[in-house]
Amino acid sequence: MDFESLFAKRTGYPPVYLARAPGRVNLLGEHVDYSDGIVLPMALEQEVKLAAAPGIKGVVTLFALDLDEQVAFRLADLETRLDIEGRPLPDWSLYPAGVAWALRRAGLEPASLSVAYISDIPIGAGLGSSAAVEVGFAVLWQAAGGWRIEPLELARLCQAAENEYAGVACGLMDQFASACGVEGHALYFDTRSLAWREEPLPLGFTVVIADSGVRRSLSNSEYNDRRASCEEAVKILKRRIPNITALRDISPIEFAAYGDLLPPIIRRRAEHVVKEIARVETAASALRRSDARAFGALMFSSHASLRDLYSVSTPELDALVEIARRLPGCLGARLTGAGFGGCTVNLVEEDEVGRFVSELPRSYQAQTGRQARVYSTRAGPGASAKKPSQGRIPHKRTVPS
């Protein structure tokens, strides 16, 4: 049964609007966003799909098909975070409700809709599943409301929904990649200026995701400790380099000169960030000249840094990377996302993808006793919405050169 039929079966009428929003994988640039760094994500072909029709006036009804749950809330009561029965909204519904809240705060009225949605993005794997839900609802309400805003601004509204309504600390990268994805391209995104541009992915190579089966366990305290270490490093280094405001402002050469001023743990954390930002710049240059081998080497280097300097890897993630390194056709591999579980991302020659996808989980299970889900993907387009009889609804996009 196709998705439109599923919607009709659940609601009793056909959808008037359809929307989709992709997940994302970060190819390079991990744990640098809170130091004003540069990241290099891409939108995935794995996505959230939404179908909707006008609903009860002033009410939004959600059908989360993956969870087999539903809830309804009044748009006028969003501040209360209660459903129409006066009960607290379930956690999963805070993401779409938060988008409605953020839109209203921005003066954009979300329509009263009945919405069913389903996703093939693994939850909790570091692939932007919650951001895809947010962006999917945002483009859905945009189509229903007939208003248009730039995709980057839409992403910022979705980030506000997650930060301020759902209460989850996150940067802008996930929502940005879901809203602004470009088919066949990575996205060079400056988290300080919010400028971005497309970078072509090398032809003849495929991105492969390997889910370790270990769900992320990076606690708020561990995340905050690492962020605090970066901030403390800036305070100390500012005594010698007065104009810096974030680790983004320190070059690898300057860090080599002044890094010894830092306590050992803070030095390791800062060294990762400084060198990771430099890796992204080098990687973008490699993509422009179609140098897949150089890009892959930077991925391996990034993983070693996240493991040894930032201490966010796990034995399972390390096993996936080391097994991948030995397999024919693999040019690069690294953990992606916050770490402490989740996935690795791999760059593999197209001719070797079939063998890679079958051999990696087999060797991983033999080594760790765990099962890994391994699948190839591609860089897909950003979120879109349409009426069932229409093509994709276009949006403007500005790409700095």
Please say whether the beta carbons of 43 and 382 come within 8 A.
yes
Do the beta carbons of residue 37 and residue 251 sit within 8 Å? Answer: no
Evaluate whether 275 touches 252 at the Cβ level (below 8 Å).
yes
How far apart (Å, rounded) are the C-alpha atoms in residues 249 and 339? 25
Pairing relationship of beta strands 113-119 and 384-386 according to DSSP bridges = unpaired
Rounded to the nearest angstrom, the gap between the alpha carbon of residue 156 and the centroid of all alpha carbons in its chain is 13
- Reply yes or no on whether 249 is catalytic: no
Tell me the C-alpha to C-alpha distance, in Å, between residue 150 and each of 21, 138, 139, 146, 147.
Answer: 15, 12, 11, 13, 10
- Asked whether 380 and 221 are in contact (CB, 8 A), the reply is no
Q: Which residue type sits at 358? A: S
Interstrand relation of 17-28 and 196-200 (parallel, antiparallel or unpaired): unpaired
Catalytic residue among 174, 260, 308, 351: 174
Q: 19, 7 in Cβ contact below 8 A?
A: no
CA distances from 170 to 20, 73, 167, 223 (A): 22, 25, 9, 11
Judge contact between 182 and 287, C-beta under 8 A: no
Cβ atoms of 276 and 250 within 8 Å: the answer is: no
Q: What interhelical angle do 151-160 and 94-105 show, nearest 10?
A: 120
**DSSP 3-state of 385:** strand
> Among 198, 208, 170, which Cα is nearest to 398's?
198
* Alpha-carbon distances of 261 from 43, 182, 245, 248, 271, rounded to whole Å: 40, 42, 17, 18, 12
Distance CA 217, CA 226 (A): 14
Contacts (Cβ under 8 Å, ≥6 apart) of 130: 95, 162, 166, 168, 174
Please report which residue ranges of 18-124 form alpha helices under DSSP H: 94-105
Catalytic residue annotation: 174
